[in-house]
Amino acid sequence: MRGHRAAVPRPPRVRARSAAIGAFVVLAAVIPAAASAAGTQETDVELPYVCAFPSGERAVTVRVTATFPQRAQPGEAFTPTGVTTTAVLPAEAVADLASAGAATVRAATRLGVGVAQNAAGATATWRGSAEPVALPASGPLTLTSTGDVPSVTGRDEGDLTFTAGALALDLEPGTTDGATAGPGALTVDCSLSADAPERGLLATVPVGTPGTEPDDPPTAPDPSSGSPSDPSSGSSSGPPDEPGDRQDERAPEVTENAPGGAAADRAAPPCRYDDSHPSTSASLNAYVTGYTNVKKLKGASLLPLSCVLIEQGPTDIEFFPDFTGGYLSQHSEGTLRHQGRAQTPPFEATFLTFGFTPTKATMVLEQTGPMTMDAAGETSFVTLFTRLETRVRVPLVLRVTALEVNGTPLEVGSACRTEKPLRSPEPEPGKFPGDHLVLSGSSTHQPPDQPVGYLLSSGGPLTGEVTIPAFTGCGTGGEDLDRLLTASVSGPGNHIKQIQGQTCAVQVFNENECTEDLQPRDIPVPER
């Protein structure tokens, strides 16, 4: 889904400078999906895929389970629940990860799903994420991901069919101490095998009153035709990132949901320089969004779309002794920006306190110190291969401005916040003391191919872990709410995945990257 600024196609290109962009974390989980109602059907389908690993194409078995309604009515939206995607990686693929120094791997999945009704089709992306798992000493590795999926609305009477298509596996290798291993995050594109049963059919949901279906049965588009209802058309770029982009007026409606089932608000807030924060020749701006897991509540929360203003530093190079290449480094600084303040926009999140009491909080994340972005890597003048690793460090305090427990508003006062900034494991504590969030991103570039991973110019994923501190100052009139928030939310081990969009270089106008008033044109889509 997109915000209010339409994206404009832009040619692939890379700026000479590469750095990191600031990011942030939201700290509340949403209410889990409701239990399946009566009149549901379960799907459990095992499908053969072919995946392009670094060492070559490998056969991967993928199992998809989900719960669908037995029947729906025209115009009635429903969301498949209990969606689980399980991929069994062969021993050769596991050896690829181990050879890069990985001891663990964290997986996220993006499964393209064709939704068809009466020969009209739409596309959806089923996203899932998982906690890290240890690599086996030998043999295959099973990766199981879960997550929220888009809702679907049939416009007419007739069967709605759900068909599995292209699959992308986002793999994040790690070491035993939690650091990123090898070249960093890896995306493996997979296509459905030609011998997949029933062309990857997952489920069929009749729409309409029994006995009123059209005389002619619905015809799903041919998977080989590359139609929008079939993401398995062989594209190596993986499933579409924006469900429903190419629907015709009679196609089923596909709506991206925020966690918990509410429609995500994709309207972009303002993101521009002004007199109080003027731009320079090195100024960039961009939007960021994403998800964070809240381990204590076993859920995930949407990170609100926010603006970051960046002052990009120069790139330094230290040549190798033989002058065949060099070490690259760059230091930049940035700030969150919302209505003239260094913070995110206010956002609401709903979670279950102690597993059963619905609690809704309105919050902001406030930047309390410098945001630094340090990139380092190597480049070869012979092979032209470049590798960069980026770390973003920013002190952030979570402030709660409103709280509602089981439908009853509670006065939190004006001083409700975490007692300390969010804290991540710091790989260089002597150089970077104090509590702060640390996010990492990496990229590789081998011309003539396009760069893979995170770059400041084109955006990409940044990941990390964070500890949520205890809360303080919450409550008025003698009512202490600190323990409620601390017991339900605070704790370590909360994984974050932040997505940055294409930057806008405000002093060098490019209509493919900037709006006429010099705001970022690209609005990123959050990923699990």
Sequential DSSP letters for 240-286: -SSTTTT--TTSPEEE-B-TTSPBP--PPPP---BTTB---TTEEEE
Most confident of 34-43, 109-118, 146-155, 209-218: 109-118
What is the pLDDT at residue 296? 67
Average pLDDT (46-72) is: 91
Amino acid at 431: K
**Contact assessment for residue 386 and residue 444, using Cβ atoms and an 8 Å cutoff:** yes
| pLDDT > 70: percent of the chain | 78
pLDDT(173) > 90:
no
**Contact assessment for residue 380 and residue 317, using Cβ atoms and an 8 Å cutoff:** no
Average pLDDT (273-280) is: 89
Widest CA span in the chain: 80
**Contact assessment for residue 363 and residue 28, using Cβ atoms and an 8 Å cutoff:** yes
pTM of the shown model: 0.58
d(CA 303, CA 110): 19
Write phi, then psi, for 297 (nearest 5 degrees). Answer: -100, 0
Amino acid at 407: G
Could you identify the residue written with the tokens 């099973």?
142
Residue 266 binned pLDDT confidence (cut-offs 50, 70, 90): very low
Q: What does the block give as tokens for 68?
A: 């669908």
Residue 231 binned pLDDT confidence (cut-offs 50, 70, 90): very low
Helix, strand, or coil (residue 287)? strand
What is the pLDDT at residue 21? 29
Average pLDDT (106-113) is: 89
**Contact assessment for residue 190 and residue 239, using Cβ atoms and an 8 Å cutoff:** no
**Which DSSP string do the residues of 421-466 spell out, in sequence order?**
--B---S-TTTS-SS-EEEEEEEEE-TTSPPEE-BTTTBEEEEEEE
Residue 129 binned pLDDT confidence (cut-offs 50, 70, 90): confident
Partners of residue 389 on adjacent β-strands = 376, 442
pLDDT(6) > 90:
no
**Which DSSP string do the residues of 388-427 spell out, in sequence order?**
EEEEEEE-EEEEEEEEEETTEEE---S--EESS--B---S
- Mean pLDDT for all residues in the chain: 79
pLDDT(4) > 70:
no
10 Å Cβ neighbour count for 492?
Answer: 13
10 Å Cβ neighbour count for 316?
Answer: 12
d(CA 334, CA 344): 13
d(CA 373, CA 438): 10
CA distances from 417 to 69, 303, 394, 481, 487 (A): 42, 18, 17, 11, 14
Each residue of 456-507: pLDDT tens digit?
878 889 999 999 999 999 988 778 888 888 887 888 988 888 898 889 998 8
Amino acid at 404: E
Do β-strands 491-500 and 283-294 pair in parallel, antiparallel, or remain unpaired? Answer: antiparallel
For the ranges 107-111, 146-150, 179-183, 511-515, which has the lowest average pLDDT? 179-183
d(CA 299, CA 284): 33
- What are the structural domain ranges in the chain? 40-255, 283-505
Each residue of 327-354: pLDDT tens digit?
999 999 999 999 889 999 887 776 655 5
For the ranges 3-12, 318-327, 508-517, which has the lowest average pLDDT? 3-12
Average pLDDT (86-100) is: 89
Beta-carbon contacts of residue 360 (< 8 Å; ≥ 6 apart): 348, 349, 350, 403, 404
Residue 17 binned pLDDT confidence (cut-offs 50, 70, 90): very low
Amino acid at 496: I
What is the pLDDT at residue 39? 78
pLDDT(236) > 80:
no
Amino acid at 62: V
Residue 35 binned pLDDT confidence (cut-offs 50, 70, 90): very low
pLDDT(1) > 80:
no
What is the pLDDT at residue 335? 95
What is the pLDDT at residue 435? 96
| pLDDT > 90: percent of the chain | 37
Each residue of 343-396: pLDDT tens digit?
998 877 766 555 556 667 788 999 999 999 999 999 999 999 999 999 999 999
pLDDT(267) > 70:
no
**Total number of residues shown for the chain:** 528
**Contact assessment for residue 459 and residue 505, using Cβ atoms and an 8 Å cutoff:** no
**Contact assessment for residue 399 and residue 347, using Cβ atoms and an 8 Å cutoff:** no
Which residue from 203, 222, 88 is spatially nearest to 149, judged by alpha carbons? 203
pLDDT(246) > 50:
no
Q: What does the block give as tokens for 372?
A: 């630094």
What is the pLDDT at residue 355? 52
Average pLDDT (508-517) is: 87
What is the pLDDT at residue 340? 87
What is the pLDDT at residue 493? 86
